[in-house]
Amino acid sequence: MLRRALWCVIAITGICFGQLHSDFDEESRAWTLSNSVLEAKIGLGLAGTFEFRGIENRETRDSWRPADGGSSPIRLQVDERWIDEKSAFRLIRHWTESNVRGGLRQSILLDEVSGLGQILVEFEIYPNLPTLRYGVRYRNSTGKSVEVAEADPVRWRLLAQAPAFRAMRVEQWLPSLDANPADFERVTSTVDTSGGVLSVLSGAHARYCSWLALSDTAGRGLAFGWEFNGRMTVDTRHVAAENRLEFSGRIPELHHPVEPGDSFQVPRAFVSLFHGGPDEAGHATQRFVELALAKQARDSRFPYVSWDSWAYYQAIDEETLRRQATLAAQAGVELFIVDLGWARSIGDWHPDPVKFPRGMRSLSDYVHSLGMKFGLHFAWPHASLESPVLKQHPDWVASVNTLYYGASSLCLAHRPVRDWITSEAIRIIDDYGVDWILQDGENMVKDCRSKSHTHHPDDSNYANAVDGLDAILSEIQEARPHVLWENCENGGNLMTYQMVQQYVTSIVNDASGALGSRLAVYGATFPFPPRYSDRYMPEQKIDAYTARSYEFGGPWILMNKLDELDARSVAFLNREIERFKQIRSFIREAKVLHVSDAPALGRTDAIAAYDKVFDTGIAVVTRDGSDAATFQLRIGEFDPGKSYQVTFASGGQTFTLTGAQIAQTGITVQLPETRYSEVVYIAPIATATELFK
């Protein structure tokens, strides 16, 4: 009752949380949400329709308005009937509150006038971010069971205001497409002006990341992200003759039953406004994700330098790993991970008694005694047929089986499976002293048509994503919040904005070498902050080219057999690990600049990070077989009239250049070998020494 009374009081006032504002105009029945850079308006029409009325970047004055016929974030099908921009609603109440991430949330509760149910619409804004996040929740108040058969998280119908638009998507790591996997390739194309569809299929085991950026000929841009781990398609249409730009989303095979009084959450989404090219689209998205969505590591050292045992494949044992742990700690490694092969079998999550006769806790205690965190590979969506759990419950297998090292897929949406996985994960964490879980598996959102499971047989995609994967992670992480999770679905096949809320980092290539590492980071750092691009380094030869190819991004994960490295490689690796530790927090917070084209054999590539507050930058420039022994590094972010000190990881000459010179002539980077990498530091002369100690 107290909560309901509070809602009623808040509903009649404008609310301000610092620079965040939400104002309700009673006469026009409109809400205006604003911060220093964004203004968004929504409202109720004369006929009771719920309308998007406009969104504007207050700095650039770029604005977007609804097309003729209106635009609404509400679109879902309940049984045979639609609730959308044509539906009439009665306003029940509305309220505004701050959230735990420093944002403002405007909630609006509506009643669909024909009696289909209630709709809760939520909008969020954050300080200094040109991003609007929103979500729609349906509550069944009909008194009978209904089925949600369609739901659209990305529903926008806008005035085109330009003759042409360019769209950008980024592929996931896709080994299944062909012999040469797409490694986060950036795909750009012009949107068909006659209404042809441009599609983005995202989610677990799908083609693209759950991100779409679009800009017009004047540089005005929108970047969309949707928070759903299941498969989903977002379509874009430009009908130039009608001056209309449309976005819509489809969740395949949605047949979600909703009992009386229960609710259905349409996946949340967000839209960021930007002006300029791909780097501006990426930066607007990354800033929002890091502030509002991303799982917090709560450790200033993160992203970690790590070591993983996969160089030994499954031929691991305690003595081998103790030896590697000793050397890893000496090298400055902070996280030691035991990969696949430690358990009796997949699904039988007890240490192999031959490999680990003293149990896993003995190794964990030793790793901790060396000052490192202890991580464990855990492919919990799978179980081998010979494991006790499947011998006892053979019906727990999903009807569509995506094998993982011979182990079968478990149906995560089946409630007994969910309960068993949760209890096993908590036991593993407690018994083995786990600080980090390397979650792996083949297609984390399972496909299951079983009629004997607790989910609807035709609702596998949504049920296995939300009631399965998401629910399991939520329960485990709530029970053991100190444990950090890494997403490692088959090399980078779950790159979504739901994933970032559950994991502190994600794999973006599967030990595919120095070039593959740089290629993955290049693409993944458009839609995601750099920390969501961890790299596994398998090479035994450690030199400038190899080591520095892994120094830009999230956790740097060594897979080397450390006792087989020669003394020169060990010394060089130790120095580069220290360099990574010096620059990792800077890269984590800075704006990513894709200075060159994507990495490729026979080419020199460059990627940089720029921090506007400190007016400072770092770039990694890599020659991969190109003919040129120098590269002109041009970055346009620096103050043209200010002087900067330019230094290099390999030593040599120190330059003093103005911001104008850096932008126009560039910094000459020496690359003396055909395979060579250099790290470039750029800082105002007064602060250069302090920033890059």
Domains and CATH numbers, the chain: 2-292 (2.70.98.60), 305-507 (3.20.20.70), 595-691 (2.60.40.1180)
Q: Amino acid letter at 590?
A: A
pLDDT recorded at residue 687 = 66
Name the DSSP letter for residue 433.
Answer: T
Instruction: Verify cis geometry, omega within 30 degrees of 0, for the bond prior to 684.
Output: no
Buried b vs exposed e over 331-346: b needs ≥16 C-beta within 10 Å? Answer: bbbbbbbbbbbbbbbb
Chain centroid to Cα 490, Å, comes to 15
pLDDT recorded at residue 181 = 54
Query: From the CB of residue 13, how many other CB atoms can be counted at a distance below 10 Å?
Result: 12
Question: Order of strands across the sheet with 76-78?
Answer: 81-83, 76-78, 146-151, 256-258
pLDDT recorded at residue 16 = 60
- Cα–Cα distance between 194 and 209 in angstroms, integer? 26
- The DSSP H or E segment spanning 166 is strand 165-170
Q: Please give the structure tokens belonging to residue 413.
A: 């949406």
Phi, psi torsion values for 574, nearest 5 degrees: -60, -40
Buried b vs exposed e over 543-572: b needs ≥16 C-beta within 10 Å? Answer: bbbbbbbbbbbbbbbbbbbbeebeeebbeb
- As averages over each run of 10 residues, the pLDDT of the chain (693 residues) reads 30 60 96 98 96 96 94 96 96 95 97 97 98 98 96 96 96 65 86 96 95 96 98 97 96 97 98 97 97 95 97 96 98 98 98 98 98 98 97 97 94 98 98 97 94 96 98 98 94 95 94 92 98 95 96 96 94 96 95 97 98 96 97 97 96 93 97 98 78 53
Chain centroid to Cα 189, Å, comes to 23
Sign of CA dihedral 461, 464, 469, 475: positive
pLDDT recorded at residue 512 = 86
- Cα–Cα distance between 62 and 219 in angstroms, integer? 9
- Cα–Cα distance between 302 and 300 in angstroms, integer? 6
Query: From the CB of residue 592, how many other CB atoms can be counted at a distance below 10 Å?
Result: 25
Question: Who's near 179: CB < 8 A, 6+ residues apart?
Answer: none
469 SS3 class: helix
Beta strands 556-558 and 535-537 are parallel
The position carrying tokens 């976005």 is 247
Q: Please give the structure tokens belonging to residue 73.
A: 């974030």
Contact 63, 57 (CB under 8 A): yes
Contact 264, 151 (CB under 8 A): yes
3-state secondary structure labels for all residues of 621-636 = EEEECCCCCEEEECCC
- Cα–Cα distance between 402 and 404 in angstroms, integer? 7
pLDDT recorded at residue 175 = 59
Chain centroid to Cα 440, Å, comes to 16
What number of residues does the chain have?
A: 693
- The DSSP H or E segment spanning 159 is strand 156-159
End-to-end CA distance of the chain: 57
- Cα–Cα distance between 692 and 681 in angstroms, integer? 8
> Which one, of 141, 115, 105, 92, lies nearest residue 17 by Cα?
105
pLDDT recorded at residue 57 = 96
